[in-house]
Chains A and B, each alone.
Chain A
Amino acid sequence: GAVVSQHPSRVICKSGTSVKIECRSLDFQATTMFWYRQFPKQSLMLMATSNEGSKATYEQGVEKDKFLINHASLTLSTLTVTSAHPEDSSFYICSARGAKYEQFFGPGTRLTVL
C-alpha cells in the first residue's frame, strides 16, 4: 500500500526560529500533496495544496510567507514555518494524492513553540 512519511514526528523550538517539516511519498509519485493543520480536539484544516514544480495554492487566511511550501520532486514536499511563535504550535499533517481519488496521510508532526 501507499506510504507517506513525515519528518520529524515531533519538534520543540524556540520562538522566532524556523522549522522545516518534510513529507515524503515512499512508494509512489505524488504530483499533488496537501498540508493540514489540526489543533487539539479539532478537525483538520487544509492550509495549502502543494503541486510539484509550481507554486503552492494557499487557503484563505493562511499566510504564504509564514508557511513556505516547496514541492521540488514527485516524492517530497516541505513545509517551513518561518519565525515560529507559540500560536503556531499545532499538529501538522501532510497527505499525498494517489492515482485515483485516494489521499494517503503521513503520521503527522507535532510542533511546540516555546
Chain B
Amino acid sequence: AQKITQTQPGMFVQEKEAVTLDCTYDTSDPSYGLFWYKQPSSGEMIFLIYQGSYDQQNATEGRYSLNFQKARKSANLVISASQLGDSAMYFCAMREGRGLTGGGNKLTFGTGTQLKVEL
C-alpha cells in the first residue's frame, strides 16, 4: 500500500484565494511526522511545515497551515491568500518512528501536486 497518497496531480487556484492540497498517509507506527515541501521549477526542495503525530494543535507557518485529522490519517496543506510565486510542485512526506538514530528520519514522499496560481 502507498504510504503517502496525494490524489491531485494538478490544482489551479486564483490569486488571493485559499487552496487545499490533499495528503493521506498509512502507517501503523504511533510516532510519526508529516512534512510538506515546495519544489519550484528550479528543483530545490523548500520546507514548508511539519506536524508531529503527538502534536495536539494543527501546525501553522505564516500562510501555510496543516489540517491534521489523525483518525482519518490525513494531513492536508492549506495555503491562504495564494500568490503567483506559490506556483510549484508540492510534496507531502512522512517520517515513521521517532527518528532519533541513524536511519531514522527517512522520508517517504507522495507523488506530488502541481499547483498553478492564476491571475
Give A residues with C-beta under 8 Å from B: 32, 34, 42-46, 49, 51, 57, 91, 93, 95, 97, 101-108, 110
Contacts and interface: CB of A to CB of B under 8 A. Distances in A.
Chain B interface bracket (under 10, 10 to 19, 20 to 34, 35 or more): 20 to 34
Contact of B112 (A43, A49, A57, A107): A43
A27 to B, nearest CB: 15
Contact of A93 (B33, B45, B95, B102): B45
6 closest A-B pairs by beta carbon, nearest first, are: A105-B45, A108-B43, A107-B44, A43-B109, A44-B109, A49-B103
Interface of B: 33, 35, 37, 42-47, 50, 52, 91, 95, 99, 102-103, 105-112
Nearest to B103: A49
A101 B43 contact: no
